[in-house]
Amino acid sequence: MSWDGYLNDHVVGSLIDKAVVIDVTGAAVWAKSNGAQISPDEMKTFASAFSDKSKAEESGVSFGGSKYFFTKLEDLTHESLPERTIPTLHVAKGKEGVVAAKCTQGILIAHYPEGVFFGDAIDAVVKNASHLVKNGI
């Protein structure tokens, strides 16, 4: 299975409607679900937010051409990988948002639509990020 297929089959669903995986430097897209778009500038902003959140706090973060406002950056764990924390960024606009989770070599970025509770979206992304970490991504 390609990582595009993984995103379409396992990440995108009732909670997440679009997702991408980029490398940790923000220089390359490794996988995209159907309908997901991300620009080179957007990738760099997500990647840099994990080492310095100040720009994301001040200016927000864009994904697919839409601007979202910084909510939080925190280290989370999932029961499938309790020995490792996953740095997780949450940005929102109204009742929709984006969750980004930094894995080992990549960053999973996922959009959730209006009507999805942000905590559920964060949990889903961290669960999938744990799977990616276990697979060397």
Please identify which residue in the block is written with the tokens 């060397």: 136
- pLDDT at 6 (0 to 100): 86
Look at residue 49 in the predicted model and tell me its pLDDT. Answer: 97
Q: pLDDT tens digit string along 82-127? A: 889 999 999 999 999 999 999 999 999 999 999 999 999 999 999 9
The band of 62, judged by pLDDT with boundaries at 50, 70 and 90, is very high
Please choose, from the candidates 112, 101, 104, the residue with its C-alpha nearest in 3D space to the C-alpha of residue 136.
Answer: 104
pLDDT digits (tens, 9 = 90+) for 19-54: 999 999 999 999 999 999 999 999 999 999 999 999
What whole-number distance in Å separates Cα of residue 36 and Cα of residue 48?
20
Q: How far apart are CA 135 and CA 29, in angstroms?
A: 17
- CA 45 to CA 16: how far, in whole Å? 21
Query: What's the predicted TM-score (pTM) here?
Result: 0.96
* Half-sphere exposure for 25 (CA within 13 Å, toward CB): 2
3-135: CATH topology is: Beta-Lactamase (3.30.450)
Distance CA 45, CA 60 (A): 9
- Is residue 86 within 8 Å of 128, Cβ to Cβ? no
pLDDT on residue 1: 45
Q: What is the pLDDT of residue 4?
A: 79
